[in-house]
């Protein structure tokens, strides 16, 4: 088991959109989009200013072109000044567009980076409770492509708003030219608004299904990569390929649905927009025939109709905004998972520490109790072995002991202080963990062991974990980069044990942390646990009778409850206790 996920957890998918839950999800997604916009730095401001400035200049251009037309059709008029103003406006629009493209790209990248940083920090702060709720592949998708889509939301939102400026300005300009032109324009814009609103709602709903199918494929692929050796050994590549790609028809269906939504909206816009332009030009032609408009004013009116109808091009940006809303809902589900809170209490000093107490502890997974009514006291400095059949809650009890998981009921105390009330740093200095498959951090092996502790601690801890001999044989010894150190599974376990020994000042939690060690090395580690580390309390998830025999206290779990406690030799008289090792232990373990 990796040290990032204690067992006993479950994977639950997010609820499908619909009803009030979908409404709440949309509101939460909109709040996240607004927050991303506020925290995206200065680039969205630059983009907004240039986009709005470009829109305003575009509004000025039809009027300038109209004046130029009137000058050109007037006998003997000089059009130089009018044409120069048009050229200046066109150059300004091009410059604004160029700066806007730069600001949109830089702002989107920065927004996605900050959101990813925030979500990663939150995921790590929540800890194993997050991976119990969402599969690893799904989490990667939410932190990757979904965060990127949310990061693109500021550009889509600003562009959509900027498109309203030409629409609103065109309406005002047409009203100033002739009120009847404004009436025709307003009728057409109302139809376009209906098309855009329906398009945004449909896109958000369909994009949610598409993104969920992507996450399902990513989760299945992640699992397949983790078990690649098993798949190759079993020769089940074809079967596993079909399993990974099983959501592909759903992904295709959602993709086709998204395409159909885009196509329908595009067809409607393609019909409504020309009708709008024709209506304005038709009304303008009638007013010109009646002598109420000049040729230049009719030309300007036609340009304003085209400019205002450009809001129909918002379909593409609304499509991105709809996908961003759906992605934001998925990212917000991660952020909604509460991170554990920490107090400011400190552990008492001046006396032997490590007394561990479980008071009426119950832990539920998906509403079902996995650990129930655990009342237990482990004296300071004692070694407690936790045994039981698979699924009995051994690893979950170990996780609760070091507050990797909080109980749903009851309390865990270390030296009389509830774990919830300890500060984060105080808790991490007091408790050290070692797992079956440790993940090693830090640039070198020494840093992977100390992780912030003084460098001289590395050798002492490595000697206790029987890791010092093989580390010293490496060309760069403790200075060997972690990625360049050729380590077997047992050697990696020993480095993980050394890290736990270097940090667990009062309590050591070992969850199957010696399963890959050979007999001689395991004996050396066991001797260190029972002799050199007696100043600390040790909670050891044990699968071997020999490990339980060396412990001061054995806790026997069955169905999430304590079925027995005491010395190994006393519990061994119970056939049920012996059956734990006969069924789950390695050959010969029952002879303990």
Instruction: Note the pLDDT tens digit of each residue in 113-139.
Output: 888 888 888 888 887 777 777 777 788
Q: Can you say whether the dihedral through the CA atoms of 268, 272, 275, 281 is positive or negative?
A: negative
Q: Measuring CA to CA, how many Å separate 421 from each of 128, 338, 416?
A: 19, 17, 11
Q: How far apart are CA 385 and CA 381, in angstroms?
A: 13
* Per-residue confidence (pLDDT) for residue 11, from 0 to 100: 35
Q: How far apart are CA 17 and CA 33, in angstroms?
A: 18
* Per-residue confidence (pLDDT) for residue 544, from 0 to 100: 84
Evaluate whether residue 415 is within a structural domain: yes
What tokens were used for 541?
């998830």
Name which residue leads in pLDDT, 465 or 516: 465
Q: How far apart are CA 97 and CA 393, in angstroms?
A: 61
For residues 214 and 126, state if they share a domain: yes
Low-confidence winner among 16-20, 258-262, 447-451, 482-486 (lowest mean pLDDT): 16-20
Of 285, 302, 335, the residue that ends a domain is 335
For residues 258 and 372, state if they share a domain: no
Query: Do strands 368-378 and 356-365 pair parallel, antiparallel, or not at all (unpaired)?
Result: antiparallel
Evaluate whether residue 274 is within a structural domain: yes
For residues 157 and 301, state if they share a domain: yes
For residues 302 and 386, state if they share a domain: no
Q: What is the CA radius of gyration of the chain?
A: 34
Q: At what angle do helices 295-309 and 179-226 cross, to 10 degrees?
A: 20
CATH number, position 78: 1.20.1560.10
Q: How far apart are CA 36 and CA 327, in angstroms?
A: 13
Question: Has this prediction a pTM greater than 0.75?
Answer: no
For residues 320 and 224, state if they share a domain: yes
Q: Which residue has the tokens 């039809």?
A: 62
Number of H helices, E strands in the chain: 23, 10
Range of the domain at 486: 356-591
Evaluate whether residue 13 is within a structural domain: no
What tokens were used for 471?
């580390």
Name which residue leads in pLDDT, 269 or 546: 546
For residues 122 and 218, state if they share a domain: yes
Q: How far apart are CA 43 and CA 538, in angstroms?
A: 53
Contact of 337 with 133, CB cutoff 8 Å: yes
Region label for 437, one of left (φ > 0), alpha (ψ between -120 and 50) or beta (otherwise) = beta
DSSP character at residue 505: S
Query: Do strands 553-558 and 561-566 pair parallel, antiparallel, or not at all (unpaired)?
Result: antiparallel
Strand order in the sheet with 356-365: 368-378, 356-365, 409-414, 417-418
pLDDT tens figures, 375-405: 999 998 899 999 999 889 998 999 999 888 8
Q: What percent of the chain is helix, strand and coil (3-state, nearest 5)?
A: 65, 10, 25
Q: In angstroms, how far is the first alpha carbon of the chain from the final one?
A: 25
* Per-residue confidence (pLDDT) for residue 166, from 0 to 100: 74
Residue 377: how many CA atoms within 13 Å on its side-chain side?
3
Tell me which range, 85-94, 156-165, 441-450, 555-564, is most confidently predicted by mean pLDDT: 555-564
For residues 478 and 583, state if they share a domain: yes
Name the pLDDT band for 369 (thresholds 50, 70, 90): confident
Name the pLDDT band for 76 (thresholds 50, 70, 90): low
pLDDT tens figures, 418-430: 999 998 888 888 9
Evaluate whether residue 342 is within a structural domain: no
Q: How far apart are CA 172 and CA 308, in angstroms?
A: 11
Residue 32 has pLDDT above 80, yes or no: yes
For residues 388 and 483, state if they share a domain: yes
| Closest by CA position to 429, among listed 357, 341, 529, 508 | 508
For residues 272 and 407, state if they share a domain: no
- Helix H segments across 5-135? 19-38, 43-73, 80-126, 128-133
Evaluate whether residue 343 is within a structural domain: no
For residues 211 and 76, state if they share a domain: yes
Q: φ and ψ at 14, to 5 degrees? A: -75, 155
CATH number, position 435: 3.40.50.300
Evaluate whether residue 576 is within a structural domain: yes
Residue 73 has pLDDT above 50, yes or no: yes
For residues 368 and 495, state if they share a domain: yes
Evaluate whether residue 346 is within a structural domain: no
Please give the tally of structural domains in the chain. 2
Burial class (CB in 10 A: 0-12, 13-18, 19+), 190: exposed
What tokens were used for 258?
């998204």
* Per-residue confidence (pLDDT) for residue 587, from 0 to 100: 38
Q: Measuring CA to CA, how many Å separate 159 from each of 101, 326, 448, 552, 565?
A: 11, 19, 48, 69, 67
What tokens were used for 140?
């990667």
* Per-residue confidence (pLDDT) for residue 273, from 0 to 100: 66
For residues 515 and 478, state if they share a domain: yes
Q: Can you say whether the dihedral through the CA atoms of 152, 155, 158, 164 is positive or negative?
A: negative
């Amino acid at each position: 088991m990796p040290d990032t996920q204690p067992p006993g957890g479950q994977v639950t998918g997010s609820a499908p959109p619909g009803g009030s839950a979908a409404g709440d999800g949309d509101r939460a997604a909109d709040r996240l989009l607004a927050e991303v916009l506020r925290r995206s730095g200065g680039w969205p401001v630059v983009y907004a200013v240039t986009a709005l400035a470009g829109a305003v200049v575009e509004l000025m251009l039809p009027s300038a072109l109209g004046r130029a037309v009137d000058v050109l059709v007037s006998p003997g008029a000089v059009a130089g000044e009018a044409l120069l103003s048009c050229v200046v406006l066109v150059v300004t629009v091009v410059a604004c567009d160029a700066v806007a493209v730069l600001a949109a790209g830089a702002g989107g990248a920065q927004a996605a980076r900050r959101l990813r940083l925030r979500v990663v920090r939150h995921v790590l702060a929540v800890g194993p409770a997050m991976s119990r709720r969402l599969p690893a592949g799904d989490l990667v998708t939410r932190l990757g492509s979904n965060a990127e889509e949310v990061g693109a939301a500021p550009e889509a939102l600003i562009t959509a708003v900027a498109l309203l400026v030409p629409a609103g300005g065109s309406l005002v300009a047409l009203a100033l030219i002739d009120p009847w032109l404004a009436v025709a324009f307003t009728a057409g814009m109302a139809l376009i608004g209906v098309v855009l609103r329906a398009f945004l709602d449909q896109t958000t709903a369909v994009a949610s299904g598409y993104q969920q199918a992507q996450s399902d494929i990513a989760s299945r692929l992640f699992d397949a990569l983790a078990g690649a050796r098993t798949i190759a050994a079993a020769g089940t590549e074809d079967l596993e390929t079909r399993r990974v790609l099983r959501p592909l028809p759903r992904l295709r269906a959602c993709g086709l649905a998204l395409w159909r939504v885009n196509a329908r909206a595009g067809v409607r816009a393609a019909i409504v927009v020309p009708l709008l332009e024709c209506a304005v030009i038709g009304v303008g032609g009638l007013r010109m025939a009646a002598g109420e408009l000049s040729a230049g004013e009719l030309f300007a009116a036609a340009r304003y109709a085209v400019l205002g109808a450009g809001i129909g091009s918002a379909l593409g940006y609304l499509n991105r905004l709809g996908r961003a809303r759906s992605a934001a809902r998925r990212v917000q589900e991660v952020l909604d998972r509460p991170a554990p809170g920490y107090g400011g209490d400190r552990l008492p000093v001046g006396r032997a520490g490590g007394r561990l107490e479980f008071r009426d502890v119950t832990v539920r997974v998906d509403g079902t109790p996995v650990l129930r009514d655990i009342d237990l006291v482990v004296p300071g400095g004692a070694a407690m072995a936790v045994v039981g059949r698979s699924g009995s809650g051994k690893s979950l009890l170990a996780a609760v002991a070091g507050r990797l998981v909080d109980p749903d009921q009851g309390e865990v105390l270390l030296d009389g202080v509830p774990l919830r009330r300890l500060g984060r740093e105080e808790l991490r200095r007091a408790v050290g963990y070692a797992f079956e498959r440790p993940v090693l951090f830090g640039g070198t092996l020494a840093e992977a062991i100390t992780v912030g502790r003084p460098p001289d601690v590395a050798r002492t801890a490595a000697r206790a974990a029987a890791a010092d001999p093989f580390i010293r044989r490496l060309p760069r010894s403790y200075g060997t980069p972690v990625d360049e150190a050729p380590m077997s599974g047992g050697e990696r376990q020993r480095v993980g044990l050394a890290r736990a020994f270097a940090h667990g000042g009062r309590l050591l939690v070992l969850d199957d942390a010696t399963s890959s060690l050979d007999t001689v090395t395991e004996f050396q580690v066991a001797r260190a646990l029972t002799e050199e580390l007696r100043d600390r309390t040790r909670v050891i998830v044990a699968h071997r009778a020999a490990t339980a025999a060396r412990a001061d206290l054995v806790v026997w779990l069955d169905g999430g409850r304590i079925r027995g406690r005491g010395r190994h030799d006393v519990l061994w008289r119970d056939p049920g206790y012996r059956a734990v090792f006969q069924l789950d232990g390695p050959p010969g373990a029952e002879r303990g």
